[in-house]
């Protein structure tokens, strides 16, 4: 059975290292989005990690992190989608603290056929967004990811052209009430459904 947990570096340093190790495998070795030479320790990380909420998926029968995603919170750094695409999200939302960027979605290659991993990660993201009072999501997505999310009934709106940024990527944005209303995560976000299996404690 899958389990999902909220992981913070200061609380679960070893689990956080496993998250970074999975990101390295996916983003550096498999996809080539990040340079291997920039991460000689085999852990993919950046300046936004300390300003993010991290989630891990794993099977209760094992200790391997099989999926991860993070929510980047508003900070003095701004959001990556603004920095890399020359955008300003201020006109799109009343309060920047109500925006989080979904980032570093990664699933282990050998478990990618299990769509419950992505589903559960987004349920965790939705619950955390509700806790934080977040109303909007943004993301920078490579080709193929918007289609994957569409299959999960999450439809972020493209708000700019693709650029070459570790492969072709485009910026996406949306109000949670609009982009995820048909996903099970939305019921969690609205508080209409409760579960003990999402973003639990280790």
pLDDT digits (tens, 9 = 90+) for 121-131: 988 998 899 88
Q: Number of helices (H) and strands (E), helices first, in the chain?
A: 6, 8
Strands 163-164 and 99-107: unpaired
Helix (H) / strand (E) containing 95 = none
Helix (H, G, I), strand (E, B) or coil at 124: helix
Task: Look at residue 75 in the predicted model and tell me its pLDDT.
Answer: 96
Task: Look at residue 191 in the predicted model and tell me its pLDDT.
Answer: 62
Q: 182 pLDDT exceeds 80?
A: no
Percentage of the chain with pLDDT > 90? 63
Q: 188 pLDDT exceeds 80?
A: no
Q: 200 pLDDT exceeds 60?
A: no
Please tell me which residue, 18 or 146, carries the higher pLDDT value: 18
Task: Look at residue 193 in the predicted model and tell me its pLDDT.
Answer: 47
Helix (H, G, I), strand (E, B) or coil at 25: helix
| Residues 179-198, mean pLDDT to the nearest whole number | 60
Question: 2-36 burial, b for 16+ CB within 10 Å, e for fewer?
Answer: bbbbbbebeebeebbbbbbbbbbbbbbeeeebbee
Q: 183 pLDDT exceeds 80?
A: no
Q: 192 pLDDT exceeds 60?
A: no
In sequence order, the 6+-apart residues with CB closer than 8 A to the CB of 178 are none
What is the rounded distance in angstroms from the CA atom of residue 122 to the CA atom of residue 4? Answer: 10
| Confidence bin at 96 (pLDDT 50/70/90) | very high
Backbone angles phi, psi at 87, to 5 degrees: -105, 160
- Tokens coding 56: 């891990």
| Residues 112-125, mean pLDDT to the nearest whole number | 91
What is the rounded distance in angstroms from the CA atom of residue 196 to the CA atom of residue 173? Answer: 29
CA angle 102, 61, 115 (to 5 degrees): 40
State the chain's mean pLDDT as an integer.
88
In angstroms, the Cα distances linking 100 to 21, 39, 42, 121, 144 are: 23, 26, 27, 15, 21
Closest alpha carbon to 120 in 49, 45, 59: 59
| Residues 150-162, mean pLDDT to the nearest whole number | 87
Q: 84 pLDDT exceeds 90?
A: yes
| Confidence bin at 41 (pLDDT 50/70/90) | very high
CB neighbours of residue 107 within 10 Å: 21
Task: Look at residue 50 in the predicted model and tell me its pLDDT.
Answer: 94
């Amino acid at each position: 059975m899958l389990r999902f947990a909220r992981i913070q570096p200061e609380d679960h340093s070893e689990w956080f290292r496993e998250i970074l190790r999975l990101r390295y495998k996916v983003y550096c070795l498999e996809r080539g989005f990040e340079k291997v030479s920039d991460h000689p320790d085999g852990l993919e990380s950046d300046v936004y990690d300390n300003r993010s909420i991290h989630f891990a998926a794993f099977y209760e029968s094992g200790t391997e992190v099989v999926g991860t995603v993070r929510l980047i919170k508003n900070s003095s750094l701004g959001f990556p989608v603004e920095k890399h695409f020359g955008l300003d999200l201020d006109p799109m939302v009343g309060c920047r603290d109500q925006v989080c960027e979904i980032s570093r979605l990664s699933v282990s290659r050998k478990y990618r056929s299990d769509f419950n991993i992505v589903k559960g990660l987004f349920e965790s993201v939705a619950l955390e967004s509700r806790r934080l009072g977040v109303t909007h999501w943004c993301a920078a997505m490579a080709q193929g990811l918007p289609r994957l999310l569409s299959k999960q009934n999450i439809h972020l709106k493209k708000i700019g052209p693709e650029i070459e940024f570790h492969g072709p990527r485009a910026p996406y944005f949306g109000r949670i009430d609009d982009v995820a209303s048909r996903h099970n995560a939305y019921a969690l976000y609205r508080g209409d459904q409760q579960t003990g299996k999402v973003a639990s404690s280790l």
